Chain A
């Protein structure tokens, strides 16, 4: 299994950018990095994913290190609705369909 390491918790002020880091030093060249978030009392929801290049969508940006051993989820202007637990998960190639979640990062937004 590919292992990920994320800080347990982070805080950010509202309307400021947030950078959520993830270390995934054991992934292979064809494994995708996915990010999900879980809002209070809800199931996890997809945020963004990438392979090698930086990615942007309406929710966030994903910056992947050149060596692919780490990535950073960027929320450009955090709102109170972004308070959630954020999970970084490698989606592994065939033969590695087992999908486990780490503890994630609990993001608190300060008004």
Chain B
């Protein structure tokens, strides 16, 4: 039982390049979330999903796209990376049951030059 796994752990992109961050969970969780955390700041919600095939916008969705084709995977895409997207990205998942906790991945550190 690996929990929530994020790949890659680190990445450096040039402005304008694209990439996809993968979040995989093996706990059969319905809900999945993508957050970004800038240095010294709190977590900001980018997009989230309440089930396979569904996604919704969070607080800071611009410049990102997401897909949840399979229940266990939640992909975050950057079509044209910008320096402002330099951040640490965290994925999280949870069940529908409110008494169950949120599980986080270890993060992806992305630098856009």
Query: Which DSSP category, helix, strand, loop or mixed, fits chain A's interface?
Result: loop
Task: Digitize A15-49: 1 where CB-to-B-CB distance is under 8 Å, 0 elsewhere.
Answer: 00000000000000011101010000011111001
Give the distance in Å from the alpha carbon of A60 to the alpha carbon of B106 in the complex: 23
Q: Is A103 an interface residue (CB 8 A)?
A: yes
Tell which of B41, B42, B48 touches A99, judged by Cβ atoms closer than 8 Å. B48
User: For A51, what are the chain B residues with a Cβ–Cβ distance below 8 Å?
Assistant: 99
- The total of Cβ contacts below 8 Å across the A-B interface reads 63
Contact B35 A101 (CB under 8 A): yes
Contact B58 A34 (CB under 8 A): no
Closest to A101 in B: B43
Tell which of A32, A34, A93, A102 touches B42, judged by Cβ atoms closer than 8 Å. A102
Q: Is A100 an interface residue (CB 8 A)?
A: yes
Contact B48 A34 (CB under 8 A): no
Contact B101 A44 (CB under 8 A): no
Question: Which residue, of A34, A44, A45, A104, has the highest number of chain B Cβ atoms within 10 A?
Answer: A44
Size bracket, chain B contacts: 20 to 34
Q: Is A58 an interface residue (CB 8 A)?
A: no
Size bracket, chain A contacts: 20 to 34
Q: Is B74 an interface residue (CB 8 A)?
A: no
Q: Are A44 and B104 CB-contacts (below 8 A) given A99-B33, A99-B45, A101-B43?
A: yes
Closest to A46 in B: B101
Contact A100 B99 (CB under 8 A): no
Contact A46 B102 (CB under 8 A): yes
